[in-house]
Amino acid sequence: MYLNLNTTQVIWQRISFRPLVKYLVLGLLLALMWWQRHWLGEMWVLLGDRERLIEFVGQYGPLASLLIGILLVLQVIVAVIPGHALMVSGGFLFGFGPAFALNLATTVLGSQIAFQISRR
C-alpha cells in the first residue's frame, strides 16, 4: 500500500519541531557552559572580590563603560536581559555618579530606539 502525496504532506505538517529545537538550543548552551567551565569558575571567584573585579574591568578602560552602555541599550529593547543587574553592576564598578549618568543616558537611548522600532 502506497501513501499518496496528500497524506504524506499532512503527516509532515502535524509533526512539530519546536520542542526539538528548544532542547537542541538548551543542549548547546549546556555544552558551551561545560566547555567554558574553568573560565566561568574564574569569573565567579572574580565577582566575589570587588577590588579584583575593578582591576579586571579597568584593563579595558573606556571600553568597559561602552560595553555596559551597549548592554543597557539592548536590555531596553530585548526583554530577556536583566536590566537591574546591569545597573547595579555599573554602580558597583564605576561608582554612583558615573553609573547614574551612564544608566540614564543609555536607558533613554534604548527607549528612543525601541520607540522608533515600534513606529515602523
Q: Which domain holds residue 51?
A: 5-119
Residue 60 φ then ψ, to 5°:
-90, -10
pLDDT at 102: 93
Per the confidence metrics, is the pTM higher than 0.85?
no
- For every one of its 120 residues, what pLDDT tens digit does the chain have, with 9 covering 90 and above? 555 556 666 666 666 677 788 889 899 988 988 888 887 777 777 767 778 877 888 888 889 889 889 989 989 988 777 888 888 888 888 889 999 999 999 999 999 999 999 988
Residue 72 in contact with residue 86, Cβ under 8 Å? Answer: yes
What domain count does the chain have? 1
Amino acid type, 93: L
By the 10 Å C-beta count (0-12 exposed, 13-18 middle, 19+ buried), 99 is classed as buried
pLDDT at 22: 85
